[in-house]
C-alpha cells in the first residue's frame, strides 16, 4: 500500500469547529486589543537569525535548542519566528517608526519552536500578542496586564487562571543580583544539574527557571531578588502593583518568575492555569526596555504579552458554542422594531442570526431553509402582547411559545 504523507510532527491541520474555535480566540483578542487602542500589524514569519539570537539570548532554550534555522539559497541564515516581539521591534527600527511613539501594536499568527510535542505544546503554534512601545512609565505595564485580564475575561477563562507577577528590576539591580547568584551557585555548584552548571557560566539567572528536580532545593534557598532591587526598580514595581490593586486584579508575587527570554527587565508576568497539565502558562509577557538596542536600534522602552491560541482553545472548551444561524421573521412591518431589538440581543450573546423580510411567512420560511437555517423565531402582534414569540424547529416541524426574556437560554439548549 502507498504510505500516506502525514503532516510534520507537532504541526496540525484545522478544520470546521477546530478552526472556528481558533478564529474565535483570535477574534476576541482583536476586539479587546482594539478597545485598548492597539493597531493590528503583520511582520514576516521568516527573519534573519540575529533578529532572535541577540535579544532572546544565545543561552535561552528557544535560541539554543528550539529554533528552525537554515541557510537560504543565498546562504543567509534565516529563522522561522519562535515569537513575535523581536520581529516587531526589528520592523519598528527598520521602518523608522520610532518617530511615531508611542506605538501600540497587535499581532496574531504562527510561531515555530522545535519542542517535544504534547497537549498544549506544538512545533507550529499560534500566538496573539500586543506590544506597547515608547513608554517607560509603570502605568503602561498595568495597562498591558489589564488588557490581558479583559481578554481572558472575554473568553470566560479568567477564573481558571492566576496572575503571577515579578520584577527583574533595571540593569544595575540585575547586575548586583547576578553577582550574588554567581557567588551562591558557585558554592553549591557540585549539587546542581549539568544544565544549571552550564547556565552558571553564561546566565545564572536562568538557573531559577530550571525544571530539574535536583536543582529545586538549592534554588529554594537562593538569594532573593527583592533584596537586590535599587529604589528606582522598587518604585516602578510598587506602582504597577498599586495600579493592579486599584483595579481589583488578583495576583501572586512570584520571585522565581524570570521567564525564558533574555530581553526582559522590570515587570514580568504570566497567567497560569492548573487545568492544562504541565503547559499551564496561557499568556505571558513583560517589559523589555533594552531590546531595541540589542538590534542596533535607539533606546525604545516597551512592554507587551503574547498568548498561546491552542492553549486558550483547550481552556475555553465550549464557551464558543455558536448555534447555527437563527432566522427572525416579523409577521408585519410594524413588528420590525421588536424584531430588531430581539435580533440585536441575540447577536450580543454571540448567537448568529438573520433577519428576514416581513410579509408572506411561507416564502420567508422557504428562504430560511435554503440558507440551512433550522430554527426560526416568528414575531407577531398577538404574541408580543404577552411578551412572547414563536420558536419553530423547521426540521422537526414543531413550535412553541417562548417568553422573550428566556429566548437566549432556550436557544443555547437547541441542537446545532
Ligand atoms: P512566551 O512565554 O515564550 O512569550 O510565549 C507566550 C505564550 O505562547 C505562552 O504563554 C504559551 O501560551 C504560548 N506558547 C509558547 N510555546 C508554545 C508551544 N510550543 N506550543 C503552544 N503554545 C506555546 C513570548 O513569546 C513573548 N514574545 C511574549 C511577550 C510579548 N513579551 C513581551 N511581549
Using DSSP's 3-state secondary structure scheme, residue 404 falls into helix
Partners of 347 in the β-ladder: none
Q: What is the pLDDT of residue 261?
A: 86
Nine-digit cell string for 323? 448555534
Block residue for cell numbers 510535542? 117
Query: How far away, in angstroms, is 134 Cα from ligand 1 center?
Result: 22
Name the β-bridge partners of 269: 165, 285
DSSP labels, 305-324: EEEEHHHHHHHHGGGG-PPS
The pLDDT assigned to 166 comes to: 96
Which residue did the predictor score with more confidence, 135 or 350?
A: 135
For the CA of 304, the nearest atom of ligand 1: 33
pLDDT at 26 over 90: yes
* Among 186, 183, 192, residue whose Cα is nearest residue 228: 183
Cell numbers describing residue 275: 487545568
Cα of 324 vs centre of ligand 1, distance in Å, is 33
Q: What share of the chain is helix, strand, coil (3-state, %, to 5)?
A: 45, 20, 35
Answer whether residue 68 shows pLDDT above 90.
yes
**pLDDT tier at 317 (50, 70, 90 boundaries)?**
confident
Ligand 1 mutation pick, 284, 288, 302, max ligand atoms within 8 A of CB: 284
**CA-to-CA separations, 160 to 55, 155, 171, in angstroms, rounded:** 32, 11, 34
pLDDT averaged over every residue in the chain: 93
Dist. CA 76 → ligand 1 center (Å): 26
Q: How many degrees, rounded to 5, is the angle at CA 201 between CA 267 and CA 52?
A: 55
How do strand 46-48 and strand 353-355 relate by DSSP bridges? Answer: unpaired
- What confidence score (pLDDT) does residue 258 get? 84
Q: Which atom of ligand 1 is nearest to the CA of 117?
A: 19
pLDDT of residue 161: 98
First to last CA, the chain: 39
What is the number of the ligand 1 atom nearest to the C-alpha of 83? 25
CA of residue 246 to ligand 1 center, whole Å: 28
Supply the DSSP string of 26-48, one letter for each residue.
Answer: HHHHHHHHHHTTPEE----SEEE
Beta strands in 32-152 (DSSP E): 39-40, 46-48, 68-71, 77-80, 103-112, 124-133
Answer yes or no: are the C-beta atoms of 49 and 69 closer than 8 Å.
yes
Ligand 1: which residues within 6 Å by Cβ?
83-85, 113, 115, 120-122, 125, 127, 129, 131, 260, 281-286, 288, 304-308, 310-311
Q: Give per-residue pLDDT as tens, 153-184.
A: 999 999 999 999 999 999 999 999 999 999 99
Q: Residue 387 pLDDT more than 70?
A: yes
pLDDT of 16: 77
pLDDT at 416: 57
Radius of gyration of the chain (CA): 26
Q: List, for residues 358-380, the tens digit of each pLDDT value.
A: 889 999 999 998 877 899 999 99
The residue whose CB lies within 8 Å of the most ligand 1 atoms, and thus the one to mutate among 143, 311, 313, is 311
State the CB neighbour count (10 A cutoff) for residue 251. 17
Least confident stretch, 121-130, 132-141, 209-218, 224-233: 209-218
Q: In the structure grid, which three cell numbers stand for residue 394, read together?
A: 423547521
Q: What average pLDDT does the segment 132-159 reach?
A: 97
Dihedral over alpha carbons 142, 147, 150, 156 (to 10 degrees): -120
pLDDT-derived band at 98 (thresholds 50, 70, 90) equals confident
The CA 83 to ligand 1 mean position distance, Å, reads 7
Mean per-residue pLDDT, 324-352: 91
3-state secondary structure of 384: helix
Residue with CA closest to ligand 1 atom 11:
308
Interval between CA 112 and ligand 1 midpoint (Å): 10
The CA-atom distances, in angstroms, between 134 and each of 34, 75, 92, 301 are 18, 35, 11, 5
* Burial class, 68, CB count within 10 angstroms (exposed 0-12 / middle 13-18 / buried 19+): middle
Q: Which range among 7-16, 87-96, 254-263 shows the weakest confidence by mean pLDDT? A: 254-263
Angle at 374 between CA 372 and CA 378, to 5 degrees: 120
The atom number, within ligand 1, closest to the CA of 305 reads: 30
pTM > 0.85: no
What pLDDT score does 262 carry?
87
* 282 Cα: distance to centroid of ligand 1 (angstroms): 8
What's the DSSP call for residue 96?
T
Percentage of the chain beyond pLDDT 70 is: 98
Question: In angstroms, what is the span from residue 304 Cα to ligand 1's centroid?
Answer: 11
3-state SS, residue 102: coil
Q: Please count the residues of the chain.
A: 416
So what's the pLDDT on residue 108?
Answer: 98
Q: Is the distance from CB of 176 to CB of 228 less than 8 angstroms?
A: yes
Ligand 1 centroid–CA 262 distance in Å is 14
- Closest atom, ligand 1, to C-alpha of 113: 19
pLDDT beyond 60 at 226 = yes
Amino acid at each position: 500500500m502507498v504510505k500516506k504523507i502525514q503532516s510534520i510532527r507537532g504541526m496540525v491541520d484545522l478544520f470546521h469547529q477546530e478552526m472556528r474555535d481558533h478564529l474565535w480566540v483570535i477574534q476576541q483578542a482583536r476586539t479587546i486589543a482594539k478597545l485598548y487602542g492597539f493597531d493590528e500589524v503583520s511582520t514576516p514569519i521568516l527573519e534573519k537569525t540575529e533578529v532572535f539570537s541577540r535579544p532572546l539570548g544565545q543561552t535561552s532554550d528557544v535560541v539554543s535548542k528550539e529554533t528552525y534555522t537554515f541557510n537560504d539559497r543565498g546562504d543567509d541564515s534565516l529563522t522561522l519566528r519562535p515569537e513575535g516581539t523581536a520581529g516587531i521591534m526589528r520592523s519598528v527600527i527598520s521602518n523608522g517608526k520610532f518617530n511615531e511613539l508611542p506605538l501600540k501594536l497587535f499581532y496574531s499568527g504562527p510561531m515555530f519552536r522545535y519542542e517535544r510535542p504534547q497537549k498544549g505544546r506544538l512545533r507550529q503554534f499560534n500566538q496573539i500578542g500586543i506590544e506597547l512601545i515608547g513608554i517607560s512609565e509603570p502605568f503602561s505595564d498595568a495597562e498591558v496586564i489589564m488588557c490581558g485580564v479583559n481578554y481572558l475575561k472575554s473568553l470566560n477563562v479568567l477564573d481558571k487562571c492566576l496572575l503571577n507577577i515579578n520584577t527583574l528590576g533595571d540593569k544595575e539591580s540585575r547586575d548586583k543580583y547576578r553577582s550574588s547568584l554567581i557567588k551562591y551557585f558557585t558554592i553549591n555548584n557540585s549539587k546542581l544539574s549539568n544544565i544549571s552548571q552550564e547556565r552558571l557560566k553564561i546566565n545564572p539567572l536562568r538557573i531559577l527557571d530550571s525544571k530539574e528536580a535536583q536543582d529545586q532545593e538549592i534554588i529554594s534557598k537562593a538569594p532573593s531578588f527583592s533584596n537586590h532591587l535599587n529604589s528606582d526598580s522598587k518604585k516602578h514595581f510598587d506602582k504597577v502593583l498599586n495600579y493592579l490593586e486599584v483595579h481589583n486584579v488578583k495576583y501572586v508575587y512570584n520571585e522565581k518568575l524570570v521567564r525564558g527570554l533574555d530581553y526582559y527587565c522590570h515587570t514580568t508576568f504570566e497567567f497560569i492555569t492548573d487545568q492544562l497539565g504541565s503547559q499551564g502558562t496561557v499568556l505571558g509577557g513583560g517589559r523589555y526596555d533594552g531590546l531595541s538596542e540589542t538590534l542596533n536600534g535607539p533606546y525604545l522602552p516597551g512592554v507587551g504579552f503574547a498568548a498561546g491560541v491552542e492553549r486558550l482553545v483547550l481552556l475555553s472548551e465550549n464557551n464558543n458554542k455558536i448555534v447555527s444561524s437563527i432566522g427572525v421573521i416579523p409577521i408585519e412591518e410594524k413588528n420590525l422594531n421588536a424584531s430588531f431589538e430581539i435580533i440585536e440581543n441575540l447577536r450580543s450573546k454571540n448567537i448568529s442570526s438573520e433577519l428576514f423580510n416581513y410579509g408572506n411567512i411561507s416564502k420567508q420560511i422557504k428562504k430560511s431553509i435554503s440558507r440551512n437555517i433550522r430554527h426560526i423565531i416568528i414575531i407577531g402582534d398577538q404574541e408580543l402582547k404577552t411578551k412572547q414569540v414563536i420558536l419553530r424547529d423547521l426540521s422537526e416541524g414543531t413550535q412553541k411559545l417562548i417568553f422573550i426574556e428566556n429566548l437566549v437560554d432556550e436557544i443555547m439548549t437547541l441542537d446545532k
